Chain A
Amino acid sequence: MPKFAAAARSALADTGLRRNLRGGIAAAREREAAAAAELGGWDDLREAGRAIRDAALLDLDAHLEELERAVTEAGGTVHWAADAAEACEIVTGLVRAAGADEVVKASSATTREIGLTAALARAGVTARETALADLAVQLGDDEPSHLLSPALHRDRAEIRELFRRTMPAAGPDLTDDPAGLAAAVRVHLRERFLRARVAVTGANFLVAETGTLVVLESEGNARMCLTLPGTLISVAGIDKVVPTWADMEVFLQLLPRSSSGDRMTPYVATSTGVTAGDGPRAFHLVLLDNGRTRALADEVGRTALRCIRCSACMNVCPVYERAGGRAYGPVYPGPIGAILTPQLRGVDSAADASLPYASTLCGACADVCPVKIDIPDVLVHLRGTVVESRRRRPVPPPELMLMRGLAWTMGDPRRYETALRRGTRWARLLSRGGRIRRLPGLLGKWTEARDLPAPPSESFRAWWTRRRP
C-alpha cells in the first residue's frame, strides 16, 4: 500500500473518479443534511448516541460476556478472534466443516478489514458478494472506495459494461437504468442464494442482552444471507456491542439518517440464534479484536471505536472528495479510516503513518458525526504517536530535525528575532516582483503551484520597536 499522498496523486488524475465522487457525495450530503434537519433535537440524539457508545465501551468486557451468554442460550456459538489471521482461520474452518466450497456474502467492512475473501480463496472457497456495489467491485477486480457505496467511483455506464462482460445472465440489452441493473443482479444471484449452504455477514450492532444481530441494508440481499443458507457466520468487531434493545431506538434513527439520508433503511434485519424450522440451523458469531483492545486503552484514540460506520464523515470531507476512498488503504476510507486504520494496524509502515496527516483538520467531519467523534482531535493525537515513533529511530529524520530546530529558535525571543532577520533577507533574495516562485527543500512543495509573498523588509516587531522606542 502506497502512502496517502502518492495514492491520492493518481486518484486526482482519474477524471471519472473525480466526477463520480463529487456527484455521489454531494447528493448524499444533501440527503443527510435534510434527514437530520427534519428531525427535531438532532443534536440531543447525537449526544444520546455518544453516551450509549461510550458507556458500552467503558464496560465492554461485561457486555461481551453477556452477549456470549445470550447468543449461546439462543443456540448460537461465539468464537473469539484476536486478529485477522485468527478470524479468517475460524471462518475457513467453519465453512469447511459445513462441507461448502462457496459462500454468499453480505456487505461487511469487517470482513474486508480481515481480508476474508482472499483467505477463503486460498482455502479453495469462493465468496460471492451479494450487494450490488460489492458485486460490481468484486466482478471488476476493483477496490472499494466508500464505506456505504463501495462502487461510488464508478458510474452506471461503467457498471452496465462490467455486468454485460461478467454476468452471463445480463443480456446485451442491459441498459444503465438502475432498476434494470438491479434486476440483472437479482437473476444472477438467485441461483447462488438457493444453492448456498453457508452465508457470511457482518453486523451493524450486537445487542448484548438478547444476543441479537442487527443488520441494516437497502437491497434485501443481507436478509437472504441471514435466512436462506443452513449455516450463518457473522463476523463483527467487539466494538459493535450495544447493551440493550432500548439503545436501538437511538441508533435506528441516527444511522439511516447519517448514512443513506433515509428516515429508515429499507431492510432492518434482526436475527437471534437459531429457531427450529426457520432460518439457519447453525449460527456462528466471530468476535474480532484485531487492535481494538489496544485502541480502547488509548484515552483519546478510543473515541474512534464509537463509530457506527455511517460514512457521513467521508461525505463531507473535502480531502476524501478529491482523493477518493482507495487512497486510505484497503479497509476504512475517509476521515474515520484515517483515525481507525492506524489504530488497528499501528503506524509502523509509512503508509499507515501517513493516514493521520491525510486531513486539513477543517472539522467538517466532527460537525456531522452522529456519535460526536472529535475526528480532528484524534488525528492530531495520532500524529503525535507517529512523531513519537520517529523519535526512537537511530538516525533522526530531516523533518524531526527541522521541527526541533524551529522550536529551539522560537523558544527564545532573541533567537527568534535573529532568525526572523536572516530569514527575511534570504527570502527577499529568492523573490522577484514581490513574490517567491520557487522555494528549496520541503517548502518546494508549496511553490509547485502557489506563490509566496516576499516578506516586507520590516517585520511587525521591528515596526513596533521603531515606532515606540
Chain B
Amino acid sequence: MRVALSVACFDDALFPGTGKAVTVLLERLGHEVAYPPGQTCCGQIHWTTGYHREAADLARAYTAAFEGCEVVVAPSASCAATVRDGYPRIARTARDPGLARAAEGLAVYELTEFLVDVLGVTDVGAYFPHRVTYHPSCQSARTLGVADRPLRLLRAVRGLDLVELPAAGECCGFGGAFAMKNSDVSVAMVADKVRHVRDTGADVVCAVDNSCLAHIGGALSRLRGGVRTMHLAEILAETGPA
C-alpha cells in the first residue's frame, strides 16, 4: 500500500526521529511511504487557541496537500483528531462546506489505528528489551478512541516489559497553549503524571503524541527523573541487533 505520511510541524522540528521511525516501520512491513511536500501544519494550535480564521486557512492547505492520497497516516493522535474531528467543526465555524467535503475525502489514521485496523497487524517484528509504560494521551483515548491498540502493539514487542501506569487516563496538563497560559496548573498536573511514571519503575514512558511526551519529558528532564520518553513508533521501529 502507498501510505502518505503526515508529520506534525512540532515533530518535524523537535522529534524528527518519529517520522523516520514510521518510515522505517512501514517499509519493513512492505509498504511504500510518501511524504507530500506541500504539508506544513494541520492548524491545531490555531484552532484550539481560538484563531479560527487562521485554522481554516491551514486546514484548506492541509487538505490540498493530501488530496488524492489513498491513505494518510499521522503518528500524532492530536493531529489525526484535528483532521477527523476538528476539520468538520472548523468548516462549520468558517461556513465552508468545501472544506468539510475535502476533510471527509481524506482517510486519515493515527499510526496504531492504521497498523491494527487497516493492516491488521499487532506484531510488527520489533525488539525492545526495556521496561516501558504507556501514557494514553487524551486525544488518542477520548477523541479518536484508539482504546487498547497501542497496548496490543506493545505487548507483541519482543523483550519489552510493559508496566501499567497508575491514573493513566488523567491528562498530563499539556493542552497546547494551556501549558503557557495556565502554566501553574499545568505544572501541578505534570508533577502528578511524573510521579506516576516514576512509580512504575519504567525506563521509558511512551505515547502516540509527542506533544504530551514533550511535556512529561520536559518535566522529567528538569527533575533529572531518570525516565526516557519515546514515541511508540520509535519502539516499534526497533529490531535490535541483527
- A residues near B (Cβ < 8 Å) are 4-5, 8-9, 12, 318-319, 322-323, 354, 356-364, 366-367, 377, 380-387, 400, 403-404, 406-407, 410-413, 416, 420, 423-424, 435, 437, 442-443, 445-446, 448-453, 455-456, 458-464
Indicate if B143 sits at the interface (CB-CB under 8 A): yes
Q: How far is the CB of B218 from chain A (nearest CB, A)?
A: 3
- Which chain B residues lie closer than 8 Å to A380 at the CB level? 47-48, 50, 89
16 more contacts with CB within 8 A, not counting A5-B181, A455-B13, are A5-B183, A5-B184, A8-B185, A318-B189, A322-B185, A360-B176, A361-B138, A361-B176, A381-B93, A403-B45, A413-B37, A413-B39, A446-B180, A448-B187, A451-B221, A459-B12
- Establish whether residues A362 and B20, one from each chain, have CB atoms under 8 Å apart when the complex forms: no
- Establish whether residues A322 and B57, one from each chain, have CB atoms under 8 Å apart when the complex forms: no
Q: How far is the CB of A376 from chain B (nearest CB, A)?
A: 9
Give A449 to B218 CA distance when docked, in angstroms. 8
Indicate if B150 sits at the interface (CB-CB under 8 A): no
- Establish whether residues A318 and B183, one from each chain, have CB atoms under 8 Å apart when the complex forms: no
What 5 pairs across the A-B complex have the smallest Cβ distances?
A360-B175, A383-B50, A450-B218, A407-B54, A362-B171
- Establish whether residues A360 and B174, one from each chain, have CB atoms under 8 Å apart when the complex forms: yes
Give A366 to B20 CA distance when docked, in angstroms. 35
Known contacts A323-B185, A362-B138; is-contact A463 B173 (Cβ 8 Å): no
- Establish whether residues B138 and A459, one from each chain, have CB atoms under 8 Å apart when the complex forms: no
Indicate if B61 sits at the interface (CB-CB under 8 A): yes
- Which chain A residues lie closer than 8 Å to B180 at the CB level? 442-443, 445-446
Indicate if B49 sits at the interface (CB-CB under 8 A): yes
For this complex, 28 residue pairs linking A to B, each with C-beta atoms less than 8 Å apart, are A8-B182, A319-B182, A323-B185, A360-B189, A362-B142, A362-B175, A363-B143, A364-B170, A387-B50, A404-B51, A407-B51, A407-B57, A407-B58, A410-B40, A410-B58, A412-B40, A446-B183, A449-B187, A451-B222, A453-B214, A453-B221, A455-B13, A459-B12, A460-B7, A460-B12, A460-B19, A461-B7, A461-B12
- Establish whether residues B170 and A318, one from each chain, have CB atoms under 8 Å apart when the complex forms: yes
- Which chain A residues lie closer than 8 Å to B190 at the CB level? 449-450
Known contacts A445-B183, A448-B187; is-contact A359 B178 (Cβ 8 Å): yes
- Establish whether residues B57 and A452, one from each chain, have CB atoms under 8 Å apart when the complex forms: no
Indicate if B107 sits at the interface (CB-CB under 8 A): no
- Establish whether residues A4 and B182, one from each chain, have CB atoms under 8 Å apart when the complex forms: yes
Give A416 to B13 CA distance when docked, in angstroms. 11
Give A237 to B9 CA distance when docked, in angstroms. 46
- Which chain A residues lie closer than 8 Å to B219 at the CB level? 449-450
> Among B7, B17, B143, B214, which residue has its beta carbon within 8 angstroms of that of A452?
B214
- Which chain B residues lie closer than 8 Å to A5 at the CB level? 181-185
- Establish whether residues A450 and B170, one from each chain, have CB atoms under 8 Å apart when the complex forms: no
- Establish whether residues A386 and B39, one from each chain, have CB atoms under 8 Å apart when the complex forms: no
Interface centre among B11, B170, B222 (most CB of A within 10 A): B222
Indicate if B177 sits at the interface (CB-CB under 8 A): yes
- Which chain B residues lie closer than 8 Å to A383 at the CB level? 48-50
**0 or 1 for each of B42-74: is its CB under 8 Å from A? (1 = yes):** 010111111110100110010000000000000
- Establish whether residues A445 and B14, one from each chain, have CB atoms under 8 Å apart when the complex forms: no
- Establish whether residues A452 and B61, one from each chain, have CB atoms under 8 Å apart when the complex forms: no
- Establish whether residues A360 and B138, one from each chain, have CB atoms under 8 Å apart when the complex forms: yes
**0 or 1 for each of B187-198: is its CB under 8 Å from A? (1 = yes):** 111100000000
- Establish whether residues B222 and A9, one from each chain, have CB atoms under 8 Å apart when the complex forms: no
- Establish whether residues B171 and A360, one from each chain, have CB atoms under 8 Å apart when the complex forms: yes
Indicate if B116 sits at the interface (CB-CB under 8 A): no
Q: How far is the CB of B35 from chain A (nearest CB, A)?
A: 5
Indicate if B97 sits at the interface (CB-CB under 8 A): no
> Among A322, A364, A448, A453, which residue has its beta carbon within 8 angstroms of that of B183?
A448
- Establish whether residues B7 and A446, one from each chain, have CB atoms under 8 Å apart when the complex forms: no
Indicate if B135 sits at the interface (CB-CB under 8 A): no
- Which chain B residues lie closer than 8 Å to A453 at the CB level? 14-15, 214, 217-218, 221
Q: How far is the CB of A240 from chain B (nearest CB, A)?
A: 28
User: Among residues 1 to 50 in chain B, which have CB atoms less than 8 Å away from a CB atom of chain A?
Assistant: 7, 9, 11-20, 23, 35, 37-41, 43, 45-50
Give A440 to B184 CA distance when docked, in angstroms. 18
Q: How far is the CB of B38 from chain A (nearest CB, A)?
A: 6
Known contacts A323-B185, A384-B52; is-contact A456 B214 (Cβ 8 Å): no
- Establish whether residues B12 and A403, one from each chain, have CB atoms under 8 Å apart when the complex forms: no
- Establish whether residues B13 and A12, one from each chain, have CB atoms under 8 Å apart when the complex forms: no
- Establish whether residues B183 and A449, one from each chain, have CB atoms under 8 Å apart when the complex forms: yes
Give A335 to B55 CA distance when docked, in angstroms. 24
- Establish whether residues A359 and B175, one from each chain, have CB atoms under 8 Å apart when the complex forms: yes
- Which chain A residues lie closer than 8 Å to B183 at the CB level? 5, 445-446, 448-449
Indicate if B102 sits at the interface (CB-CB under 8 A): no
Give A383 to B50 CA distance when docked, in angstroms. 4
- Establish whether residues B182 and A410, one from each chain, have CB atoms under 8 Å apart when the complex forms: no
Interface centre among B13, B46, B93 (most CB of A within 10 A): B13
- Establish whether residues B16 and A458, one from each chain, have CB atoms under 8 Å apart when the complex forms: yes
Known contacts A459-B16, A460-B16; is-contact A367 B142 (Cβ 8 Å): yes
Give A408 to B23 CA distance when docked, in angstroms. 29
Interface centre among B23, B40, B52 (most CB of A within 10 A): B40
